[in-house]
Structure 1
Amino acid sequence: MYQISIVIIVTMNIRIAIVEDETDTREMLVNLINGYEGYSCVSAYKNAEEALNNILLLEVDVVLVDIHLPGKSGISLIEQLKSLVPKTQFMVCSSLEDSNHIFSALKAGATGYISKTTSSEKIIQAISELHLGGSPMSSQIARKVVASFQEHKVIKNDSCKDLTNREFEILEFLSRGYRYKEIGDKLFISVETVRKHINNVYKKLQVNSAIEAINLMKR
């Protein structure tokens, strides 16, 4: 009597959307993705507004997002879409590699961050890794994340223990001489939101000025 074995081969079919304002880069990514079996680019947009209006209507697994877009930024787009399509994974593909943009993107809901200089093969690998539950990052991005954690100063002052991470972040910018608008631009929030956070800091620390708050933080 012969025993018959049945082997089931599971093929990935990852549906991907792209948000990139540079035409050449956008077309390159579309052709790259569609050139690999198991990967399909279902839509591509030149700005965040187009993406916001259309991605909700599609079943997308992964969205590749540039940060510097005309109008709404890629980070703002991720923050809005993540709450609406929580199962969709977002990966930044950008030439902006400074720590502020990296952490703002991750806080907004991105689970991957690669450089535009990443090779074609590694872009596909990153998409696959992201889809399977990983958090791919270009090596230079990962190094900056590690360095940022190593440089982070732990504040031990008991009076500061009730501050949120965002409040600490804004207070740190104030200590470095940034103005409200500059802080808002760095964190992709409005000046009014910055002002509200700072008022909350004053209340929690029981101080009346930024100088008092900064001095208390550094004790």
Structure 2
Amino acid sequence: MGKELRIVLIEDDDVLRMGYQSLLSDVPDFIVINTYGSYDLAKKQLPADQPDVILLDIQMPGTNGIQALPVIKKALPHTNIIILTVFDSPELVFEALTMGAGGYLTKNSSAAKIIDAIREVSSGGGAMSTNVARIVMHSFQKNLNSPLTKRETEILEKIANGQTKSQIATELFIDPETVRSHVKNIYVKLDVNSKSEAIKTAKERKFI
């Protein structure tokens, strides 16, 4: 690659941090600008570091990686962030990806996988460990099993975004009574009795 990729490591385990630094410093077109033991130690320095890629741990003293993610993305919108963690629960994976992570690797990833992931996100792609990719695929498969029709899903998403039944009716060019009928069907299919229950259940089951 033509230009060097500027990399910052944020990892609280000293041995791992030094290991990653050593690994990445040996790659010809990578330059490790800085390493930090926590986001709280890194935050003031990051704008000056101007990293192309940040490898970010989740569990750290003070601000954790999930909390730090949106703050970093707001301050450095063009920086790619790869989560590098021992945790691979579906909730954490989706939270990280939703908040703008360009990749999600578990710490048992090989050196080659980490290097490839940095190149991948730098060229506009996404990077995941095999087990994380499996979680994402499984979620999409679960979505296909939703009992809600396309129209019901669309309406429930709009309700979750705070729109009223009359606003939804206007936007979808349908009668308000039709919206009410769809909402009634949603409640029956999800076995709930309120708007908040419907939203909560649908989100938990990845229907919306």
1:85-124 alignment to 2 at 5 Å? 85-124=76-115
Q: What is the TM-score with the length of structure 1 in the denominator?
A: 0.70
Report the CA distance between 1:161 and its aligned residue: 4.3
Other-structure match for 1:50: 41
> C-alpha root-mean-square deviation of aligned residues, in Å?
2.6
- Residue 56 of structure 1: CA displacement? 1.3
Q: Label 1:165 to 1:75 Cα distance change in 2 as closer, same or farther (>3 A).
A: farther
- What is the one-letter code of the residue matched to 1:23? D
1:118 alignment partner, SS class:
coil
Cα deviation code 1:108-164 (max 9, x no counterpart): 110111110011111111111111111011111101001011113364447634233
| Alignment-derived partner of residue 164 in structure 1 | 160
Q: Which amino acid aligns with 1:50?
A: L
Give 1:3's aligned residue.
none
In the alignment, structure 2 segments of 5+ residues that lack a partner are 163-182, 184-191, 203-208
**Distance in 1 of aligned mates of 2:198 and 2:43:** 43
Q: Distance in 2 between matches of 1:103 and 1:165?
A: 18
2:27, 2:118 → 1: CA distance?
A: 12
Q: Which letter maps to 1:162?
A: K
Is contact 1:113-1:141 (8 Å) kept? yes
In structure 2, the residue matched to 1:171 is none
CA deviations 1:79-107 (Å, max 9, x no partner) are: 10101111110000111001000001011
Once the two structures are TM-superposed, the CA of residue 215 in structure 1 deviates from its matched residue by 6.3
Question: What is the one-letter code of the residue matched to 1:164?
Answer: A
Q: Could you say which residue in structure 1 is the equivalent of 2:166?
A: none
Per-residue CA deviation, residues 157-185 of structure 1 (Å, 9 max, x unaligned), is: 4763423379xxxxxxxxxxxxxxxxxxx
Q: Is 1:19 aligned with 2:15?
A: no
Task: Give the aligned residue type for 2:119.
Answer: S
How far residue 52 of structure 1 moved from its aligned partner, in angstroms, is 1.4
Q: Which of 15, 18, 23 is residue 32 of structure 1 equivalent to? A: 23
Which residues in structure 2 correspond to 1:187-202 (within 5 Å)? Answer: none
| d(CA) in 2 for partners of 1:162, 1:101 | 24
The answer for unaligned runs of 5 or more in structure 1 is 1-9, 167-204
Deviation at 1:212, TM superposition (A): 3.1
Q: Which moved more, 1:153-162 or 1:43-52?
A: 153-162
- State the identity as a percent: 28
Quote the offset at 1:33 in angstroms.
0.6
Other structure's SS at 2:44 match: helix
Q: Which residue of 1 aligns with 2:194?
A: 212
